Amino acid sequence: MTSITKPKVQHPANLKNQIGRTRRDYEGSMSTLCAGCGHDSITAAFVDAFWQLDIQPHRVAKLSGIGCSSKTTAYFINESHGFNSVHGRMPAVATGANAANSGLYYVGVSGDGDSLSIGLGQMCHAIRRNVRMLYVLENNGVYGLTKGQFSASADVGSKSKKGEANIQSPIDPVLLALTLGATFVARSFSGDKAQLVPLLKAGLRHGGFALIDVISPCVTFNDHDSSTKSYLYTRQHYHEVASVDFVPLQREIRTDYAEGQRQPVMMHDGSMVHFRKLEANYDPTDRAAAIARVRSAQERGEVVTGLLYINESGMDMHAINNTVETPLVDLPYSTLCPGAAKLDALMEEYR
Amino acid sequence: MPGVNDFTLKIGTVNGTGSASANGLLMQAIFRMGIPVVGKNVFPSNIQGLPTWYEIRVNKDGYTARNAPFDLMVAMNTGTYKRDVAEIAKGGWLLYDSSWPLPKALHRDDITVLGVPLGEMCVETFGGDRERTLMKNIAYTGALVGLIDIDMDVVMGMLHEKFSKKKHLLDSNDKALRLGYDYVKKHFKCPLPIRLEKMDKTGDHILIDGNAAAALGCVYAGATVGAWYPITPATSLMENFNAYCQQFRVDKETKKKNFCIVQAEDELAAAGIVVGAGWMGARAFTPTAGPGISLMSEFVGLAYYAEVPAVFFDVQRTGPSTGMPTRTQQADILSIAHLSHGDTKHLMLFPANPEECFYLAADSFDIAERFQTPVFVLSDLDIGMNDWMCRRLKWDDARKPDRGKVLSAPDLEKIEKFYRYNATNGDGIAARTLPGVHPKGSYFTRGSGHNKLGGYTEDSDEYREVVDRIARKIDAAAESLPAPEIITHKGNTVGVITIGSARGAVMEALDRLRDDGLSLDYLRVRAFPFSKAVHDFVASHEKCIVIEMNRDAQLRSLLILETGVHGDRLESLLEYGGLPFGTGQIIAGIRGILEGVKA
């Protein structure tokens, strides 16, 4: 615990969203992570994103696996449904939950150990199925709860707290997702809330699997001088290529970028994502270009961030399955059981 | 003695040559003649080229257990001649393809050899390798029609049904059938003494395999989410579920589906999908076999501790490890009873045949939701993949699903605050809510230590309070699970206890022993944890013989563990070679044990 439990009082002057809720309504239990942990900043960004989107708290399902990152589902939106499952298996639970009830907002919170080692296969297959969910990978390059082992995202040459250098090549979730056909791929930094909040909002409204890899420094085990996932290193090598302004369907707002720098993309529900192109020739709807840009940046030791790729025309799991619009959990039993007469008739086929 | 409507026959072929459909045709024809029949497929874990067999037992009294040796052997695979000939009963018959003469060394004086040049005839009649191979199967079927007096009209009727839209196939099948039939009629005295006569004993019955029946049970129970990873011998369960859903659960106009089947990347994910769907309130299931059960154990522990309903079908095959994937066994009992790390105990149901697969599948969802825990339905390859004769499946339209304690939005409106793991009455079951229904219903589900309020805990007392309640809940479930099947006779001191698909052979053996003056009591467990009736049966018999299909006497171990009975009072009769029990084997086994007991 890093601080005392916050009192539940609501200040009357707290700003309310369209459904009459304040930010406090989107907060969760007190974080038990280390003071200064990047994950807590991401949690704060979640609070803002859900609040700004006017989402009913109880219509949110938060899922996670095991690890520091996975603990954070308890730290936002108390009034939602959380599921802290088993290590690396959150994508399967989210897939089943979404299969059963397509009507909720799904957010998965995972880490680099959870997603890139023990759960690598699960993440890949959730991408393949295009399960409609926001999947946030809180990436710090290290195992925190077991005290400082390298994770699969640790860069070559990056040193552990004890001074040992990593020599195995890292798995980059962004490149992986891009090659797997993911329809929404972004990278951000826990220290850049201004960039992260719109990304989370766009991801929540995406019509399929939205991956956001968030560099989130581990202050205890991986924030030293020789780490490539430290606050300092990330700030120094941070390069935003295409940021977004998320514009919900009901609340069109004007953005103030010069023409030519803006690229609007319509989300499946009619909302708009406006790309703020920081590089004139970057096209976030071109998968091959996105892969090439990420690779070229890595060669220079840069961390490219922003919404790197989006495709709103992909079919999600239910579209592929051709499931009814009504969530399966809401179908009355009478529509599911064929009844005695049909069974009697069917028996003739087994004669 | 074998005779009219009472004999066994076995067909040895090469897999991938189309013999399965010919064999199915044969068995179905006998069934349609009103004669009780059962067929067992003994097949390799392979796609093409290895030996495969089909065993058919015809029995006018309705006994359906495996019964070796065989009265008639149809040996179509030169590679297995030796063992096929050796399995023929004294005085039996061998039908073989005389295009390749039987080696002299394989001749037996005590059998009658019937050579039919099936290969030659098919080469002359049909063109193309594939058609010649396929039609050879229909030609031996034709020979059997003549030899054992199968009703030709019935067979032709079935071919017409099957090929109503493929006239050219009907013609070649008809031609092939006549090849075999005409040849045996011309060259041998037909029919043989082992032959068929029409009866009226199958009118109320169907021929169905356990996986199809279980899938149908899932449809009728209202299951909407199915997750799976293909594995022998469970694959056809999900394939059947899909087929029935295509038939019954697709909107005629929009073509939209009232179900979602996810073919997962592995069994581990399949289990996770079921847990996720069960958490949301859908009735979800996954069919698998032993290797899948091993992978699922992590999620099973989570579902047990977080109290999420989930249904698992384990169509058991021969283990350990990959084992023999196309052979049967009942060897997952012990590992499932306490599957996953930590203290766990799971509800298990044990169907004995496809009919019970249907009813127990439907019940399993009620049980899982009522007790908010994983439920395992353990069939096996013999039940799951073979066609069994069983009574027509029935459904009561008045039946409604038992969703257990689920708080609705109006329920939640009325209460001050909801706590997930706070059981207020003695059954140990705490009410749950479904996500998205009502703001007051929100709670945090976790596999980590939690207290009765649903909060994270590392406090000993809080932890114990929850796990003790779960233990009480599981033990209390015993009396609500399907009751054991029990047959007792006054004065008997020895009982037989069995499980699952061993039922047929055990029942027949007990009938025959009783005819010979040896009466034994009988109990078949249908569920775990064991109910009081099982405890009482064990306690009230001086000796029980536990008959099961595994090496390590797993049911016996579980009985000792649960009832506390001294091991000396439970004898074991085991089969674990991968094939179902035969009746003769059980009779001999019981006699051997009882003689040993006397000595």
Alpha-carbon distance A240 to nearest alpha carbon in chain B (angstroms): 35
Nearest beta carbon to residue A321 from set B223, B260, B445: B260
Residue ranges of alpha helices (H) inside A136-230 are 173-180, 193-205
A–B: how many Cβ contacts below 8 A? 212
Alpha-carbon distance B399 to nearest alpha carbon in chain A (angstroms): 10
Cα Dmax for chain B:
88
Question: Chain A contact for B268, CB < 8 A?
Answer: yes
A58 vs A162, more confident: A58
Question: Chain A contact for B25, CB < 8 A?
Answer: no
| For residues B165-193, average pLDDT | 95
Tens digits of residue pLDDT in A318-344: 999 999 999 999 999 999 999 999 999
A162 vs A203, more confident: A203
pLDDT computed for residue A259 by the predictor? 41
Would you call A56 and B439 a contact, using CB atoms and an 8 Å cutoff? yes
Between residues 113 and 152 of chain A, which touch chain B (CB distance below 8 Å)?
Answer: 121-122, 124-125, 129
Under the banding of pLDDT at 50, 70 and 90, the label for residue B564 is: very high
Alpha-carbon distance B60 to nearest alpha carbon in chain A (angstroms): 18
Tens digits of residue pLDDT in A105-127: 999 999 999 999 999 999 999 99
Q: Spell out which residues of chain B touch residue A94, defining contact as CB-CB under 8 Å.
A: 276
Between residues 318 and 337 of chain A, which touch chain B (CB distance below 8 Å)?
Answer: 318, 321-325, 328-329, 331, 333, 335-337
pLDDT computed for residue A255 by the predictor? 41
Q: Please count the other Cβ atoms lying within 10 Å of the Cβ belonging to residue A281.
A: 7
Question: Chain A contact for B249, CB < 8 A?
Answer: yes
The CA distance from B379 to B351, in Å, is 6
| For residues B410-418, average pLDDT | 96
| For residues B160-184, average pLDDT | 94
Interface residue of B27, B211, B247, B273 to substitute, partner A, most A CBs within 10 Å: B273
B81-107: string of b/e by CB count within 10 Å (b at 16+)?
beebbebbbeebbbbbbbbeebeeeee
**Cα-based distances in Å from A224 to A161, A217, A230, A233:** 7, 10, 6, 9
Is the separation of the CB atoms in B287 and B380 below 8 Å? Answer: no
Is the separation of the CB atoms in B181 and B147 below 8 Å? Answer: no
pLDDT at A248 over 60: no
- Closest alpha carbon within chain A to B388: A350
pLDDT computed for residue A282 by the predictor? 80
Would you call B282 and A58 a contact, using CB atoms and an 8 Å cutoff? no
Alpha-carbon distance A60 to nearest alpha carbon in chain B (angstroms): 7
Percent over 70 (pLDDT), chain B = 99
The CA distance from A184 to B452, in Å, is 40
Q: Spell out which residues of chain B touch residue A101, defining contact as CB-CB under 8 Å.
A: 280-282, 435-436
DSSP A114: I
Dig out the tokens for A254 from the structure: 């004007």
pLDDT computed for residue B491 by the predictor? 94
Dig out the tokens for B518 from the structure: 């040896």
Would you call B261 and A321 a contact, using CB atoms and an 8 Å cutoff? yes
Tens digits of residue pLDDT in B252-307: 999 999 999 999 999 999 999 999 999 999 999 999 999 999 999 999 999 999 99
pLDDT computed for residue A263 by the predictor? 63
Between residues 50 and 69 of chain A, which touch chain B (CB distance below 8 Å)?
Answer: 56-59, 61, 63
Question: Chain A contact for B34, CB < 8 A?
Answer: no
Q: Which of A184-198, A236-250, B206-220, B415-429 has the lowest mean pLDDT?
A: A236-250
Q: Phi, psi (5° rounding) for residue B471?
A: -60, -45
Three-class SS of B443-510? CEEECCCECCCCCECCCHHHHHHHHHHHHHHHHHHHHHCCCCEEECCCCCCEEEEEEHHHHHHHHHHH
pLDDT computed for residue B249 by the predictor? 98
Nearest beta carbon to residue A93 from set B31, B265, B272: B272
Nearest beta carbon to residue A321 from set B257, B265, B441: B257
pLDDT at B203 over 80: yes
E strands, A73-208, are: 81-84, 105-111, 133-139, 142-143, 149-150, 184-189
Alpha-carbon distance B26 to nearest alpha carbon in chain A (angstroms): 13
Between residues 5 and 24 of chain B, which touch chain A (CB distance below 8 Å)?
Answer: none
Question: Chain B contact for A83, CB < 8 A?
Answer: yes
pLDDT computed for residue A128 by the predictor? 97
Would you call B436 and A103 a contact, using CB atoms and an 8 Å cutoff? yes
Under the banding of pLDDT at 50, 70 and 90, the label for residue B1 is: confident
Question: Chain A contact for B393, CB < 8 A?
Answer: yes
Q: What residue has token string 């007096």?
A: B149
Under the banding of pLDDT at 50, 70 and 90, the label for residue A249 is: low
Would you call B392 and A324 a contact, using CB atoms and an 8 Å cutoff? no
Quote the mean pLDDT of chain B: 96
Question: Chain A contact for B260, CB < 8 A?
Answer: yes
pLDDT computed for residue A111 by the predictor? 96
Sign of CA pseudo-dihedral B18, B22, B25, B27: negative
Question: Chain A contact for B254, CB < 8 A?
Answer: yes
pLDDT at B324 over 80: yes
Is the separation of the CB atoms in A226 and A289 below 8 Å? Answer: no
Under the banding of pLDDT at 50, 70 and 90, the label for residue A302 is: confident
Tens digits of residue pLDDT in B91-106: 999 999 999 888 888 8
Percent over 90 (pLDDT), chain B = 93
SS3 at position B345: coil
Alpha-carbon distance B496 to nearest alpha carbon in chain A (angstroms): 33
Alpha-carbon distance B375 to nearest alpha carbon in chain A (angstroms): 17
pLDDT computed for residue A256 by the predictor? 45
Tens digits of residue pLDDT in B505-550: 999 999 999 999 999 999 999 999 999 999 999 999 999 999 999 9
User: Minimal CA–CA distance to B225: which of A248, A117, A94?
Assistant: A94
Q: Spell out which residues of chain B touch residue A318, defining contact as CB-CB under 8 Å.
A: 260
Q: Spell out which residues of chain B touch residue A63, defining contact as CB-CB under 8 Å.
A: 276
Q: For residue A328, what are the β-bridge partners?
A: none
Would you call B276 and A347 a contact, using CB atoms and an 8 Å cutoff? no
Nearest beta carbon to residue A99 from set B260, B302, B400: B260
| For residues B468-497, average pLDDT | 97
Alpha-carbon distance B173 to nearest alpha carbon in chain A (angstroms): 21
The CA distance from B581 to B64, in Å, is 11
Q: For residue B516, what are the β-bridge partners?
A: none
Tens digits of residue pLDDT in B334-392: 999 999 999 999 999 999 999 999 999 999 999 999 999 999 999 999 999 999 999 99
Under the banding of pLDDT at 50, 70 and 90, the label for residue B18 is: confident
CA B26 to chain CA centroid, Å, is 21
Tens digits of residue pLDDT in A256-286: 444 445 566 676 667 676 655 567 678 889 9
| For residues A35-53, average pLDDT | 95
pLDDT computed for residue A298 by the predictor? 84
Question: Chain A contact for B456, CB < 8 A?
Answer: yes
Under the banding of pLDDT at 50, 70 and 90, the label for residue B599 is: low
- DSSP character string of B301-335: HHHHHHT--EEEEEEE-B-STT-BTTS-----HHH
Question: Chain A contact for B535, CB < 8 A?
Answer: no
- Closest alpha carbon within chain B to A124: B265
A244 vs A144, more confident: A144
Q: How many helices (H) and strands (E) does chain A have?
A: 11, 12
- Closest alpha carbon within chain A to B440: A79
The CA distance from B432 to B396, in Å, is 28
